[in-house]
């Protein structure tokens, strides 16, 4: 069981926009701005898409954007393309009663229709 809740799957047609949610608590997503999103293609290592809630690393397409409201973070992919089909994971720093760590969501499979 993962600490952060993501929908199992999201689908969309080419050119459309989709949003993936990531719900945690005040001990993780809601309490800190250390939220990240990763894309993982089959058989490959994860690729960092978003860090610190809404920042894109150099080289990541502007089509990927992140935001947060309360205990829920979101990743929006605009202008869906065929190679966006992948698994997406959110991650957050968490701290509770003097222990800290990084937790992940269970992952969302994005399907291009």
Partner 1 sequence: QLQLQESGPGLVKPSETLSLTCSVSGDSISGTTYFWGWLRQPPGQGLEWIGSISDSGKTYYNPSLKSRVTVSSDTSRSQFSLRLTSVTASDTAVYYCARGYGSPGICDYWGRGTLVTVSS
Tell me which residues touch partner 1 (CB under 8 A): 2, 34, 36, 38, 44-48, 51-52, 57, 89, 91, 93, 99-107
**Closest approach of partner 1 to the CB of residue 21, in Å:** 16
Cα–Cα distance between 65 and 56 in angstroms, integer?
A: 8
Query: Judged by CB, which is closer to partner 1: 100, or 111?
Result: 100
> Using CA atoms in the order 8, 13, 70, 25, what is the torsion angle rounded to 10 degrees?
10
Pick the closer one to partner 1 by CB: 71 or 105: 105
14 burial via Cβ count (<10 Å: 0-12, 13-18, 19+): exposed
Q: How far is the CB of 20 from partner 1 (least distance, A)?
A: 14
What is the chain's length? 113
Q: Which is nearer to partner 1, 3 or 84 (CB)?
A: 3
């Amino acid at each position: 069981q993962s600490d952060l809740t993501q929908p199992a799957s999201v689908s969309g047609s080419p050119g459309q926009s989709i949003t993936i949610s990531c719900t945690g608590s005040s001990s993780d997503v809601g309490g800190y701005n250390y939220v990240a999103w990763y894309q993982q293609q089959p058989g490959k290592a994860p690729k960092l898409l978003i860090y610190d809630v809404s920042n894109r690393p150099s080289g990541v397409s502007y089509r990927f954007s992140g935001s947060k409201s309360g205990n829920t973070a979101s990743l929006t992919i605009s202008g869906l393309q065929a190679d966006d089909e992948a698994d997406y994971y959110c991650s957050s720093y968490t701290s509770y009663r003097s222990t800290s760590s990084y937790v992940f969501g269970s992952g969302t499979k994005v399907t291009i229709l």
